Chains A and B, each alone.
Chain A
């Protein structure tokens, strides 16, 4: 087995092990969960030493015939696009598992599902065979359903089934598109690398239709307006750690899918769809920001801000320039780190106060200095303050979209990309407004004596959050190490898409 298989399947082994530990021994369940996700994380870090960032192709490849009669392989590998996301997943999983130590109800099942979920997510990022990709894509849903439905908030059961059916609905389109690609390719194959070599066969209307099918499938995951309605409900109802995974990793699967499958396989259709993608990104940014502005529930606010942030990501992708792609991939990572820590922090407050209503707090900064400080850093990063991670990626997304070579002039004879990039900047303003308002109402002002007994963050919570805060600052000051990691892969991708022009 290669390193990637170990990374992917270690959590699964942990999950199976947990099943054999009696129900009452909760500390052992926790220990197994942390141990296996930590191992997986350590290996994913360790392979950095062997990762060649100047190589734009797939590395750590493992290819074993799996279902020969369909030409399906167990085929995994990573490149500059998937490697950072892989590390993000193992890191966030580990931190979320630590953060969920306070779960007391049905501990065994909780960690079983959680580790299964981790395997599913990692599997999507490493698989290079569309069958395998789809398999992991679907497997992920089941643990998520139970995690939301058993340990979630008041509307958990409705949120769980809505999430499940909605995303399953999305995978319908994915499945049809994958099968269509399979039968169009000659010889029939699900192998992404081989499909890539044959992408000259996907022409004309076929390319457009398949692109649209894939786009709907991925858009539901991102989520792109108007497919976003599952997100606020699921994010709000899910337990804290699961919200972190939902926002931090699951949303990235959609954008990752677009960059991994749609863009390289169907370049002409991708370029053809650039303007609609731009408009959708614009809607996501503005709509997400205003919706977040309207919330009084902190968790809901963060959930809507995710829609807004994924809009930036989509904006960078729609540009089809190297700058835009850099911005988009970095935005995926940053959103995972920042929103992950925001959800963790909101969870910390909720565990103590049992409410997330912005209006009932006030002056908490004086009572919980540590918490207020970390939360402020996360909010500032999320609204794009220079010097923190969010700024770099949002700036690059805007820059990429503004300098996009796309010549369309649809609205009033103005260059469409420049126009909508400029309009999208309003989103930043609104984002700033609602985050500052939240900080003001919760941490500043006179202290609300109702919260006299609140305690500051404990050790476990700090362990879960601080690594993310450190990363936020680190990426904000010195993002280049991440760019150098993905540079050659994204360069190849841009050339691939822009090439036929």
Chain B
């Protein structure tokens, strides 16, 4: 009991911190935005240390696996929360008088992801998923005075509730058949039966898959994403696209590598189809977007589809690829969103034209953005390239040549819209009716976090040896 609790120190600590922040907000009248942020960042920092000091190879309560695999994603989740807090630091308009609530909700959502990354039981999975999502419902609508923000929150809430219901329904089928919600028990059960003919089992699995599909915004369950992304406050959008996806994909990975083998079940074709559909739709629609947030939203759908390839390949290289890809995707999409936040705050516009002539106004910022765009487009030597390379390699290893071919074609399409942004920044002149970006930026936290993200992308892209060998150790979940 006590040993199990020790393994959950990061979760317990962060939940406590979140509660404390909420309490501060409720009882202290003064506006303590700065202190709240410092407290939030500090506790996240401490949680990171806690995560790194966890002993691996254990299970908490038999339901939560604490292996290198989950530690990687826990670390990523906390890091992402930390960075998002840093870029929302100056956003007084967003936080208003509710800085405490804002920070604590973000942290709670992160706690949900910590649970998700370890979940070895369908119920744990469900709880983690809910804990991740419910704070995000509120955060999406945090700009109460803006209609778009409320619309975004309502859409997200309705879809979220609906998909959760479906997932829970699926879980109940599986429980009814196997008598347990634990991954290992379900696995043992599938070994003893001829599951590929068991309609009820397949139905249950299908419903769970639909639930995951909604959360991961896989096609055809993706329609809510652009509206939600566009309407939500931009830091939250960054959080949505960057970390939430990683949180969900890790569950799917565990589910497929530990519980059901898609190949044996004969559902691999479905998964391939989902992946192709998601990539293609996301990329094709992104081509036509004029709003930067919508554009990045569709690109995140496309990236989800590419990530899904690693899952379809279902081999160790695929798992490692997904890990690298998640890390890279988080950093580059965070960076791109951070730049969008900065620009839209100065130019009062979120459209593509706000990027026009950026290289003439502030060359450094445009090169920084170019770094993120190149990485998103999968151009070497950035980490995004390595992630793509590994995911594609895993699919080649699994002999899914067509899937790789289509995915690569998609990545060419993606280059077009990423380079539309580069085109605006480098080839066009600034719009004189909008205020110019100053040569020297004031926000220290912006500079630090984006430079950090860009440098990590570049350095790990050029010298990935060390992180790849770590990931190789972590790639195998607990048996």
Chain A residues at the B interface, C-beta cutoff of 8 Å: 23, 65-70, 109, 134-135, 138-139, 141-142, 145-146, 149-150, 157, 161, 164-165, 168-169, 172, 175-176, 179-180, 182-183
Contacts and interface: CB of A to CB of B under 8 A. Distances in A.
Interface in B254-304: none
B468 A175 contact: no
B397 A183 contact: yes
Contacts of A70: 468
17 contacts: A67-B464, A67-B465, A68-B465, A68-B468, A138-B379, A139-B380, A142-B379, A145-B422, A150-B427, A157-B427, A164-B415, A165-B415, A165-B416, A169-B409, A179-B396, A180-B401, A183-B397
Contacts of A149: 423, 426-427
Nearest to B320: A69
A138 B374 CA distance: 11
Contacts of B422: 145
Contacts of A165: 412, 415-416
Contact of A139 (B379, B408, B416, B427): B379
Interface in B408-466: 408-409, 411-412, 415-416, 419, 422-423, 426-427, 463-465
B380 A169 contact: no
Contacts of A67: 464-465, 468
Interface string B353-375: 00000010001000000000010
A168 B408 CA distance: 10
Contacts of B401: 176, 180
Contacts of B396: 176, 179-180, 183
B469 A172 contact: no
Nearest to B409: A172
Given A67-B465, A157-B423, 19 more contacts: A65-B465, A67-B464, A138-B380, A139-B380, A141-B379, A142-B379, A145-B419, A149-B423, A150-B426, A157-B427, A165-B416, A168-B411, A168-B415, A169-B412, A172-B408, A175-B408, A176-B408, A179-B393, A179-B404
The 5 closest A-B pairs by CB, nearest first: A172-B408, A179-B396, A69-B468, A135-B380, A138-B380
What secondary structure prevails in chain A residues at the interface with B? helix
A375 B381 CA distance: 41
B184 interface: no
B199 to A, nearest CB: 37
A68 B463 CA distance: 11
Contacts of A161: 416, 419, 423
A69 B423 contact: no
Nearest to B463: A66
Contact of B426 (A134, A146, A183): A146
Contact of B381 (A139, A141, A182): A139
Contacts of B393: 179, 182-183
A165 B287 CA distance: 14
Nearest to A70: B468
Interface of B: 359, 363, 374, 379-381, 385, 389, 392-393, 396-397, 401, 404-405, 408-409, 411-412, 415-416, 419, 422-423, 426-427, 463-465, 468-469, 472
Contact of B465 (A23, A69, A134, A142): A69
Contacts of A23: 363
A172 B405 contact: yes
Contacts of B468: 67-70
B165 to A, nearest CB: 41
Contact of B392 (A139, A150, A169, A175): A175
Contacts of A109: 359, 363
A135 B392 contact: no
Nearest to A167: B412
Contacts of B416: 161, 165
A164 B472 contact: no
Q: Which of A66, A69, A145, A164 has the most CB of B within 10 A?
A: A69
Contacts of B397: 183
A365 B5 CA distance: 91
A172 B412 contact: yes
A180 B408 CA distance: 14
Contacts of B426: 146, 149-150
Contacts of A168: 411-412, 415
A176 B415 contact: no
A157 B416 CA distance: 12
Contacts of B464: 67
A460 B381 CA distance: 36
Contacts of B469: 68-69
Contacts of A66: 463, 465
B392 A179 contact: yes
Given A67-B464, A146-B426, A150-B427, A176 B419 contact: no
Contacts of A134: 380
Nearest to A145: B419
B381 to A, nearest CB: 6
Nearest to B470: A69
A135 B408 contact: no
Nearest to A69: B468
Contacts of A182: 393
A195 B174 CA distance: 48
A179 B313 CA distance: 15
